[in-house]
Amino acid sequence: MSPPEVYYNHLTPQSFLDRNAAVFRNKPAVIYREKQWSYQEFAQRVKQLASALQGWGLKKGDRVAFLCPNIPQMIEAHFGVPLAGGILVAINIRLAPKDIRYILNDSGARLLFVDKELSNLVAPIRDKLETVEAIVNIIDEEAKVTGENLSDLDYEGFLATEASELLISPLEDENDLISINYTSGTSGKPKGVMYTHRGAYLNALGEALELGMDSRTVYLWTLPMFHCNGWCFTWGVIAVGGTHVCLRKFYPETVISLLMSEVITHFCGSPTILIMLVNDKAIKTLKLSHKLRVATAGAPPSPTIIQSMEELGIEITHVYGLTETYGPHSVCEWQAPWDDLPMDERAKLKARQGVPYIHAAEMRVVDENMNDIAADGMTMGEVVMRGNNVMKGYFNDVEGTKNAFRGGWFHSGDLAVVYPDGYIELRDRAKDIIISSGVNISTIEVERAIYKHPAVLEVAVIAIPDEKRGEVAKAFVTLKPEMVVSEKEVMSFCHQHLAGFKCPREVEFCELPKTATGKVQKFLLREKEWMGFEKRIH
């Protein structure tokens, strides 16, 4: 290989750790309960992992799977696996064994690291894993469930097998894969979304820039690290020399306590996470002595929850994206003149999905012929993106990649409007839009109206069949603790805030089914309601 050019280096997140292990040698890089690791100590463990992987026999491009919660070993994997030349496959810990089996076999993972508490997810499928050659137990003393050992090898013992010298060859191409992230598979088999070193590097810096992160950042892990590699914050926090605070499981009371005790400056989460926090009784104890900035995405947040968070002194940054865009692709970039508006007006503006990240470059809303829609805040079209943080494609799926990239853009499947100032606002997933008597109804608009009711904790709206109108809206509502409201009262409230044809015909009170990242699984609600009916296709 020829020596690197004077004016060019390959972009890779590994460079973040190389720099800051030297700059912030004794500063905490990772904190977990009573333990902490300095940047030097963390870098050493990463090198141990990489060396042990190579000593085991890992070759360039081999996939290494991790099934564990937000604990230090998962952050180590984000640097150690690529450093060894491997590709990280971080698996959703809330999947069923059959889904985990599919991901392991589809990705061709050779090595699997499993948190012992999650061994019950792997034990039933061990004999059906086609490519996994070895399993390593991750033993976390903070786990409440013992679990079983799936092999004789544990994580610390594996690290101890490191070779005397790390045989690392320089990265040959920044567009080589760094990770494969599998989608939730709600509309078919999970798809393996391919991330590159270059894309991860740029998106990590983009996250840090948009959220105002620096070496004083203390980041709390409320967002799953297995989801889009934690929106690339696994790398982004290290990029700025910040500190990771790991959190094995999300409990609102624990998070509220850590916000104060660890002086947390940043965290990320879906609107569901924010709803759980503001409605927990422990929120009354929250007293912030510092600036706290939170990025939310995963589902369009209602202005109501944004306002509730900001009334607590928490600054909300609203971002939007998909697994296929390394997590966030756009941000509701704040404008100084908006500072003087009333809080409810600011919340409405902040509920929009905004404009592309600085590094993301391009995002449009188009009609079926790929023409830009009118920027009138009313006309709907599909959000399409391209640029530095769009996936390389779907792993082992040429046709799926070709379809997603048709017309030279990534098709999100999300419907949105564009305002005259160029900011977009989501109105629905293409599959979620309600077509009633030929008129489109945005489920997001109906949900936002219901969220205004003081007794409502969460709501999901879907289309249900109707003989005359084709389909109409139905609302599934979760009430706040100790609140009692009737179906008639909710429907009456809707008629006060919505046009009559948009109001739900039915209201059902229940707990909403969700993914591990807090997204409501509307497909489960639809399946129940449409059973026996011919479903419409958009």
What does 91-157 look like in DSSP terms, one character per residue?
A: PPTTS-HHHHHHHHHHHT-SEEEEEGGGGGGTGGGGGG-SS--EEEEE--TT-SS----SSS-BHHH
DSSP state of 205: H
Give strand pairing partners of 330: 320, 356
**Per-residue pLDDT, 261:** 96
Gap between the Cα atoms of 487 and 475, Å rounded: 10
Q: What is the mean pLDDT of the chain?
A: 92
**Beta strand pairing call for 292-296 and 314-322:** parallel
pTM for this prediction = 0.87
**Per-residue pLDDT, 2:** 54
Gap between the Cα atoms of 392 and 399, Å rounded: 14
Number of residues that this document lists for the chain: 538
Gap between the Cα atoms of 44 and 226, Å rounded: 23
Q: Categorise residue 354: left if φ over 0, alpha if ψ from -120 to 50, beta otherwise.
A: left
219 three-state secondary structure: strand
**Per-residue pLDDT, 360:** 87
pLDDT by position in tens, the chain (length 538): 455 679 988 999 999 999 999 999 999 999 999 999 999 999 999 999 999 999 999 999 999 999 999 999 999 999 999 999 999 999 999 888 999 999 999 999 999 999 999 999 999 999 999 999 999 999 998 888 888 899 999 999 999 987 767 777 668 899 999 999 998 755 567 899 999 999 999 999 999 999 999 999 999 999 999 999 999 999 999 999 999 999 999 999 999 999 999 999 999 998 888 988 999 999 999 999 999 999 998 777 888 899 999 999 999 999 999 999 999 999 999 999 999 999 989 999 999 999 999 998 799 999 999 999 999 999 999 999 999 999 999 999 999 999 999 999 999 999 999 999 999 999 877 788 887 866 778 888 899 899 999 999 999 999 898 877 778 899 999 999 989 999 999 999 999 988 888 999 999 999 998 876 677 888 889 888 887 665 443 3
| Most distant CA pair in the chain, distance | 75
380 three-state secondary structure: coil
Residue 437 CA to its chain's centroid (Å): 36
Gap between the Cα atoms of 128 and 122, Å rounded: 10
| Alpha-carbon torsion (309, 314, 315, 321), positive or negative | negative
**Per-residue pLDDT, 341:** 94
11 touches 174 (CB < 8 A): yes
- What residue ranges define each of the domains in the chain, with the CATH number in brackets? 14-24+31-195 (3.40.50.12780), 250-429 (3.40.50.12780), 434-530 (3.30.300.30)
**Per-residue pLDDT, 518:** 72
**Beta strand pairing call for 327-331 and 35-38:** unpaired
**Per-residue pLDDT, 427:** 87
**Per-residue pLDDT, 535:** 47
Q: Residue 299's closest CA among 512, 472, 532, 17?
A: 512
Cβ-Cβ contacts under 8 Å for 102 (sequence gap 6 or more):
189, 190
Cβ-Cβ contacts under 8 Å for 267 (sequence gap 6 or more):
219, 220, 221, 222, 223, 255, 294, 295
